[in-house]
Amino acid sequence: MSTYSPSEIEAKWQAAWSEADVFKAVRSIAKPKYYVLEMFPYPSGRIHMGHVRNYTMGDVIARYKIATGHNVLHPMGWDAFGMPAENAAMASGGHPKDWTYQNIADMKAQMQPLGLSIDWSREFATCDPEYYGQQQALFIDFLAKGLIYRKKAVVNWDPIDMTVLANEQVIDGKGWRSGAEVERRELVQWFFKISDYSEELLTAIDSLDNWPAKVKLMQSNWIGKSRGLQFSFGLVDGPAGHDRVEVYTTRPDTLMGASFVGISPDHPLAKELERTNPALAAFCDECRKGGTTAAEVEKADKKGYDTGLTVRHPFDTSWELPVYIANFILMDYGTGAIFGCPAHDPRDFEFATKYGLPIIATFLPDADANPELTEAFVPLKSEKVTYVKGFAGAPDQTGEDAVDAAVDFCEANGVGHGVTKFRLRDWGLSRQRYWGCPIPIVHCDDCGAVPEAKENLPIELPYDVTFDVPGNPLDRHPTWRNCACPSCGKPAMRETDTMDTFVDSSWYYARFTSPHAATPTDLDDAAYWMNVDQYIGGIEHAILHLLYSRFFARAMNMTGHLPDSAVEPFNALFTQGMVTHAIYQSTGANGRPVYYYPEAVALRDDKAFLISDGSEVEIVPSAKMSKSKNNVVDPDDILAKFGADTARWFVLSDSPPERDVEWTASGAEATFKHISRVHRIATEVAAMGGAPGQGDDELLRAMHKAIEDVTSGVESFGFNAAIAKLYGFTATLAKSKAGGAAKREAMCVLAQLMSPMTPHLSEEIWTMLGGQGLVVNAPWPVADPKMLILDTVTMPIQINGKRRSEIAVAADMPKDEVEKLVLGLDIVVAALNGAAPKKLIVVPGRIVNIVI
RNA sequence: GGCCGUGUGGUGGAAUGGUAGACACGAGGGAUUCAAAAUCCCUUGCUUUAACGGGCGUGCCGGUUCGAGUCCGGCCACGGCUACCA
């Protein structure tokens, strides 16, 4: 009898799949199509358990859909541009391109042994010129349709590295790499006009039925629609050109509670005043330097600077309000100016208290409430309140009604107009970096910024660059920069900025439908394969990547690259949890934690001891895998030790897929034992004759129940539940005294039900038992409804809601007969003690409850 | 601060309003073995009882219901996202 040897059988069956080319996706009207996609990885060089879990989930879906008669597209690629490649080049002197392609080769080599059902013929990396050249074509088409424009924008500039930094690369106001004080610089940059689609992207969220509610909510909040009033205060004796201050408010109903006007330090009026007032300029400078981290904002005091100017209240021109420059007002939201209503805004309250400004309540909880407030009164807008300084609508009304009434009143009286604002801002795509998709623009002295001619695409990144000098190497590469103007032919210069890497990932799903087309997409292929039926990835992409992709699909539709049916590209989204692992740590001599590798630790009685000296160390459970904490489990090691089927099964078995799963060595070993056991049972079954045995029918009934349970588990992403049922069915099969024929049938079905999770083992068993062809091509088993009906059922008997007994009855026994039977039970007779039951509830096939 | 989510054995976790704790880990006991490995079997929420059995039990308090882990209201704790968004 052969023993289970994953290394042999996994290589064998991967070769067989490859030989039969079973995962190649070909358009066909013979079957319904199904497109399953996992978020493609950044080629860091090593895969981790999180990847294994992500791709296994996608693979289970893909293999299940193949078995249920679908034409499946399951591609894989690489999100290959980005800063780590440049950082590596700077650190070790290599080239980003070489580094990236080497990493891709390494990661692919690690992924192949997992036995994923991927159509590798569609593989691409976003740093392939064939891909980013098409992205440049998209850029040119978007530009022509007005979906891209240029404007000045403030960036974080690192003066030592001579580069722009993302917000998260600025730590305490200093560059994360150089440590230099970061400057705010205005650069002319390219923007996608995603704000054109704010309303559309928001309302379409409702149609995303198979997206997690959480992700939809996060996107709604991010788009941030608000309804309010925009109006202006007349400025008294303002500097030349400044006679009004425009403000935006979502609470125009509190206009009579105004006590000051606040403007951002970046507001044009503030900038004007800075020119003549050094103290004021110093204050604004101070505000701009203020940290942007959450903790700093939390701590930061409300600070203001009295400009000495005043404005007139729109309802009463004799009522003047002071104008402050305040550190808490943002220039890029609304108009960069507010009116302060301390009674109904906690920030304004803090500010007014500090600077001795009046606090005027405009509404109160009820007519008798004390108008002297000790803190801002901010009820829900849906709550009814009593207006003591209202000017529109009923005296008692909800905030919502009052806002509507106030907007109507103001519009009727020529004080501003109602406006809808969105928090979502246009997407700046310029990056002053080498390792990204070049922006296909040429700057010509005569013609200005001109798009490159499409026949000149791709504009390839030059290879001969170095990173020993700070700054973008494209800037100092004359032969690459210098070119002819595509419009007039005169000497001109290329744009040296490259695109944000989020652009690369915003349309790769569409490119997979025709990865080698000479245009960004092939419309016939896109129409056939789109949308992605099931998208799987991490929750960390809930906002940016998914929102950008939704925008891109619309923009591609507008420019003729995607059909109307594909504007919402992902029909269903699933966000999976992480793989975690315990940390083993002790406290070092300096008081800092010291971390130990799992291999250095022995576990006994839920305690951990160092193998080296036997001393006990602390166990911190369920921590995100992190190299610095020494709690990373390398998939290579696991595959070498147990094989892919064990790894795949384990990452799905212990937790629901949307939640984190804890990797434990004991759990992985137990999985391996189980898989080995299934293999052993199969070899035993294969050796049996075909004679009937005891309980053939029972085994087959259990088999049909397993088909039903596992199928519904896989359909609903309940992989852990499906696996639990497979454990149960395996135990039933192992214990069964059924004959060879029934066992063989049950074993074949078990192999099929396991095949999405353990495809190699399933092929092995399938062949061992004489199955036809490959199990990957075998149709998914269907449960026979007749075999699911039970003859007898066990019903619990409750007395006053507490379980006291149970009876076994025929499944189709009428209700009144069940009642009779129950009332005759000793325990019931004793409980009733001669009295009649107050109530008798019989739920057929479920439960009986007697109320006494 | 805002929004969202989650609280069930020693652990990960199951339970269309209908027997709470499936399945797995861990732990304990046994069989097999010269011995071990491997394998197989049994026990395992807490508590009380010699036993049969009983009591308690899904973060806390209350409500709806014949019946609540599940539904409703109010608290507490933890986690996530977002943030001076006017």
| Residue A401: per-residue pLDDT | 87
As given in the structure block, the two tokens for residue A53 are: 């879990």
Whether nucleic acid strand B comes within 7 Å of the CB of A282, the answer is: no
As given in the structure block, the two tokens for residue A343 are: 């009674």
> Could you report the per-residue pLDDT of A762-813, keeping only the tens digit for each?
999 999 999 999 999 999 999 998 888 878 888 888 888 888 888 888 888 8
Whether nucleic acid strand B comes within 7 Å of the CB of A532, the answer is: no
Q: Confidence band (pLDDT; 50, 70, 90) for A73?
A: very high
For residue A735, the surrounding DSSP H or E stretch is: helix A719-735
Rounded distance in angstroms from the CA atom of residue A728 to the C1' atom of nucleotide B22: 9
Percentage of residues of chain A with pLDDT beyond 90: 55
Nearest CA to the C1' of B81 belongs to which residue?
A218
Question: Which nucleotides of strand B lie under 7 Å from a protein CB?
Answer: 1-5, 10-16, 18-20, 22-28, 38-41, 54-55, 66-68, 80-86
- Nearest nucleic acid nucleotide to A290, CA to C1' distance: B84
Half-sphere exposure of A411 (CA within 13 A, CB side): 11
Mean pLDDT, chain A, as a whole number?
89
- Nearest nucleic acid nucleotide to A252, CA to C1' distance: B86
Judge contact between A167 and A156, C-beta under 8 A.
yes
As given in the structure block, the two tokens for residue A586 are: 């002790």
| Residue A295: per-residue pLDDT | 43
Q: What are phi and psi of A10, to 5 degrees?
A: -70, -45
Res. A536: pLDDT tops 60: yes
As given in the structure block, the two tokens for residue A566 are: 């594909």
pTM here is 0.91
Q: Which residue has the tokens 């606090």?
A: A359
Judge contact between A553 and A531, C-beta under 8 A.
no
> Could you report the per-residue pLDDT of A156-212, keeping only the tens digit for each?
788 887 777 766 666 666 776 677 777 778 889 999 999 999 999 999 998 998 898
- DSSP E strand stretches across A529-578: 534-538, 573-576
Whether nucleic acid strand B comes within 7 Å of the CB of A367, the answer is: no
- Nearest nucleic acid nucleotide to A294, CA to C1' distance: B83
Q: Which residue has the tokens 């409430």?
A: A369
Q: What ipTM was predicted for this assembly?
A: 0.93
Q: Confidence band (pLDDT; 50, 70, 90) for A300?
A: low
- Cα A124 from Cα A131, distance rounded (Å): 8
The one-letter amino acid code at A335 reads: T
Q: What is the mean pLDDT of residues A625-633?
A: 78
| Residue A493: per-residue pLDDT | 95
Rounded distance in angstroms from the CA atom of residue A680 to the C1' atom of nucleotide B44: 28
- Nearest nucleic acid nucleotide to A262, CA to C1' distance: B86
Q: Which residue has the tokens 């998208």?
A: A535
- Cα A467 from Cα A475, distance rounded (Å): 12
- Cα A679 from Cα A685, distance rounded (Å): 10
Q: What are phi and psi of A822, to 5 degrees?
A: -65, -45
| Residue A606: per-residue pLDDT | 66
| Residues 632-671 of chain A in contact with strand B via CB under 7 angstroms | 653-656, 659-662, 664, 666-667, 669-670
- Cα A406 from Cα A426, distance rounded (Å): 30
Whether nucleic acid strand B comes within 7 Å of the CB of A338, the answer is: yes
- Nearest nucleic acid nucleotide to A851, CA to C1' distance: B66
- Cα A25 from Cα A490, distance rounded (Å): 47
Q: Which residue has the tokens 């001795």?
A: A356
- Cα A209 from Cα A211, distance rounded (Å): 6
| Residue A171: per-residue pLDDT | 65
Whether nucleic acid strand B comes within 7 Å of the CB of A218, the answer is: yes
Structure-derived torsion over alpha carbons of residues A291, A294, A299, A305, reported in degrees to the nearest 10: 50
Rounded distance in angstroms from the CA atom of residue A47 to the C1' atom of nucleotide B80: 25
Give the 3-state secondary structure of residue A795.
strand
Whether nucleic acid strand B comes within 7 Å of the CB of A68, the answer is: no
Rounded distance in angstroms from the CA atom of residue A726 to the C1' atom of nucleotide B32: 28
Q: Which residue has the tokens 């690459």?
A: A480
| Residues 401-460 of chain A in contact with strand B via CB under 7 angstroms | 423
| Residue A529: per-residue pLDDT | 97
Across chain A, which distance is largest between two alpha carbons, in Å?
109
Q: What is the DSSP letter of A473?
A: G
As given in the structure block, the two tokens for residue A606 are: 């839920």
Rounded distance in angstroms from the CA atom of residue A622 to the C1' atom of nucleotide B79: 13
Q: What is the mean pLDDT of residues A352-373?
A: 86
